[in-house]
Structure 1
Amino acid sequence: MDWNFIVSNTASWLLMPDTIAYAIATVGLAVHFGYGGLLNFGQAGFMALGAYGYAISILSFGLPWWVGILVGVGASVIFALLLGLPTLRLRADYLAIATIAAAEIVRLLFQSVIFDEYTNSADGLGGYHAGFREANPFPPGTYGFGPWTYNEQQLWVRVFGLALLAAALIVVWLLMRSPWGRVVKGIREDEDAVRALGKNVFSYKMQVLVLGGVLGTLGGVVMALPSAVVPGVYLPSLTFFLWTILLLGGAATIFGPVIGAAIFWMLMAFLSVFLPSLAAEGLLPGVSSVQAGVLRYILIGLVLMAIVIFRPQGILGNKKELTFNAR
């Protein structure tokens, strides 16, 4: 078993674009659920809107890359409004069903041949990277050390993603310390009490949905920067991965999504190599290397069950701020 490769591969995922993108999207999910008490199972839809809004703006309309990000954000705001108007008065379990259905509608629309001219249907979109790469401030060369060694384009993607993540954390931290944030957390605990104080609960919920959705959109943009945009990526399983990250790090925390994303993806990377290696050496009787690769999802599911049972507040969470009973 090549431990050097296993350790190097695991460590490299600490700064992968996917890890950064999932962290940003999970910060948005923390705004939805951890602070606002909204049981959103459609964050994958917001990420898809960000990625497709970015790519289509560049490929079909020739807009600059930074305008493409704004288009994705605008699309997520419209989607949040359309989603929130009929659903935010629903009870938490019905809201979860509505949001996962809405995210699937978004994915299937992008996959449909109806909009093939813009989305390329199931084949997805690529070749939209030129503008972003031209904005790269780093001269050609190799940067970093060990498993964190990148060329100038790889470094640019990571620096840009980390900058967006830092901005998201600062904005959420400031908002949750403000009077607005205290009202939002009050709604999470008892919306009837907040309504009795004369606050427009529906309006606050809508603002929470929009803010968390915008952060999900930015996560989708970061995930699309180094690769292609393919509708098969934005399955419900993506949202469930985000929930795993959120519950692992802590739902109502600022840095919980960052810690959770790093642990989740490093664990996934470790198991993706470690388990097939065990199978290849005959240490998993009756299990092939391919089956061993799938086994990691079972183990991740067991980890999620253990977190919910033994530490539902997550690594950084506070039991006083649990929202599993949110209405």
Structure 2
Amino acid sequence: MNFIPLAFGELISPTTAAYALATIGLVVHFGFTGLVNFGQAGFMAIGGYAFAITSLKFDWPLPFAILATIVASVLFAFVLGVPTLRLRADYLSIVTIAAAEIIRLSVKTAEISNVTGGATGLNGASASFNAINPIPDGTYGWGVLTYNQDAVWVRIVGWALVLLACLLVWALIRSPWGRIIKGIREDEDAVRALGKNVFSYKMQSLVLGGVLGGLAGALFILPRSLQPDNYGTQLTFFLYTIMLLGGATTVFGPVIGSMIFWVVLSLSDGLLSLGVNSGVIPITATQQGPIRFIIVGVALALLVIFRPQGILGNKKEVFFSA
């Protein structure tokens, strides 16, 4: 098996782009503002379901479906933020992870399955997106990196969205707004003493990062069906791994982190399968999945010990809220 072309294919996959976009939102929350949000998977679920339901059930045009995704993410940010943003960091983390689980379990209930698809989810949400594809029909690329016009289109749009998000956050963090946000991360009492409305700025940060997470949720389902179990707590931990890998206080770190993380996670299963089938690795096929997560976990632990600022991070800005 030629792993190099496969690795390059995973680097530019829409899943990698979706992870990068959601992690940029998480960096706004945690890295720059100090909000310990363990519910970014909930924002992704809200965005994915808002996009899929309006596209499939209500037959809304693509621009209105995207607008619904943004509005739903903003509303969820307000519902989540109004009662929780005055909590201490550890309590905030518990509430946000619970909110994400409430979303995931709610969409699986039979009472609203005619809208959400229940435990089986929804399929075909990408139809309206592919309908505006300007790329001529056909296949593009070479070898294992051959894609049809829809696969090329989602990659172009996905990475363009990531680039726009990076530029937006980069500009905001360099602005007076960004300096206040970073001040809240360091010492919110000092910022409050200067007459700034800390709660308002936290809410703005939660909304911005939540909208990026919601758009990532919509991007995440374009190459696949929408499955509620894809938005479990495991997804949030994936995003935190990506953030810590690239740098929790950087704008472009999530892009590098998502590429490395998804390539390692995707290809490690293939490498383990090759080792198991050849008898080099003495494990069973059912043990492959847990072992690749162990490998990622050990790598993350070593990274936090020896380079806590991440690949692109600045050690002076490392922030782990307690």
Quick one: which amino acid aligns to residue 183 of structure 1? I
Query: Number of residues paired by the alignment?
Result: 322
2: distance between equivalents of 1:8 and 1:163? Answer: 22
2: distance between equivalents of 1:15 and 1:323? Answer: 30
Structure 1 residues 60-79: aligned runs within 5 Å: 60-79=57-76
User: CA offset at residue 148 of structure 1?
Assistant: 3.4
- Whether the 8 Å CA contact 1:250–1:313 is kept in 2: the answer is yes
What's the CA shift string for 1:24-82, capped at 9, x where partnerless?
00000000001011000000000001110001001111101221111111111111101
Identify the match of residue 16 of structure 1 among 7, 13, 17: 13
Identify the match of residue 137 of structure 1 among 134, 139, 151: 134
Identify the match of residue 163 of structure 2 among 146, 162, 166: 166
Q: Who is 2:37 aligned against?
A: 40
- Whether the 8 Å CA contact 1:17–1:161 is kept in 2: the answer is yes
Gaps of 5+ in 1: none
2: distance between equivalents of 1:9 and 1:269? Answer: 9
User: CA offset at residue 122 of structure 1?
Assistant: 0.2
- Whether the 8 Å CA contact 1:49–1:72 is kept in 2: the answer is yes
2: distance between equivalents of 1:160 and 1:95? Answer: 33
User: CA offset at residue 130 of structure 1?
Assistant: 2.3
Identify the match of residue 233 of structure 1 among 230, 234, 239: 230
Gaps of 5+ in 2: none
TM-score by length of 1: 0.96
**1:312 equivalent in alignment to 2:305:** no
2: distance between equivalents of 1:253 and 1:9? Answer: 28
Quick one: which amino acid aligns to residue 164 of structure 2? A
1: distance between equivalents of 2:125 and 2:318? Answer: 42
Q: Who is 2:285 aligned against?
A: 289
- Whether the 8 Å CA contact 1:275–1:293 is kept in 2: the answer is no
TM-score by length of 2: 0.97
Quick one: which amino acid aligns to residue 143 of structure 1? Y
What's the CA shift string for 1:91-147, capped at 9, x where partnerless?
111100000000000111111112111001001001233221110011112223454
**1:272 equivalent in alignment to 2:269:** yes
2: distance between equivalents of 1:51 and 1:275? Answer: 32
What's the CA shift string for 1:200-242, capped at 9, x where partnerless?
0000000000100000011101111121111010000000000
Q: Who is 1:108 aligned against?
A: 105
What's the CA shift string for 1:178-210, capped at 9, x where partnerless?
000000000000101100100000000000001
1: distance between equivalents of 2:30 and 2:289? Answer: 31
Q: Who is 1:261 aligned against?
A: 258
**1:178 equivalent in alignment to 2:175:** yes
9-18 vs 225-234, greater mean Cα deviation: 9-18
2: distance between equivalents of 1:62 and 1:256? Answer: 37
Structure 1 residues 187-206: aligned runs within 5 Å: 187-206=184-203
Quick one: which amino acid aligns to residue 197 of structure 1? L
60-69 vs 201-210, greater mean Cα deviation: 60-69
Alpha-carbon RMSD across the aligned residues, in angstroms, is 1.2
Runs of 4+ in 1 over 4 A off after TM superposition: none
Quick one: which amino acid aligns to residue 63 of structure 2? W
- Whether the 8 Å CA contact 1:276–1:290 is kept in 2: the answer is no
What's the CA shift string for 1:281-323, capped at 9, x where partnerless?
11222x1133123310111111111111111100000011111
Identical columns (%):
56
Q: SS of 2:147's equivalent?
A: strand
**1:90 equivalent in alignment to 2:92:** no
- Whether the 8 Å CA contact 1:9–1:269 is kept in 2: the answer is no
Identify the match of residue 208 of structure 2 among 203, 206, 211: 211
User: CA offset at residue 280 of structure 1?
Assistant: 1.4
**1:243 equivalent in alignment to 2:253:** no
**1:152 equivalent in alignment to 2:153:** no
Q: Who is 2:299 aligned against?
A: 303
Quick one: which amino acid aligns to residue 78 of structure 1? L
- Whether the 8 Å CA contact 2:14–2:155 is kept in 1: the answer is yes
2: distance between equivalents of 1:146 and 1:266? Answer: 18
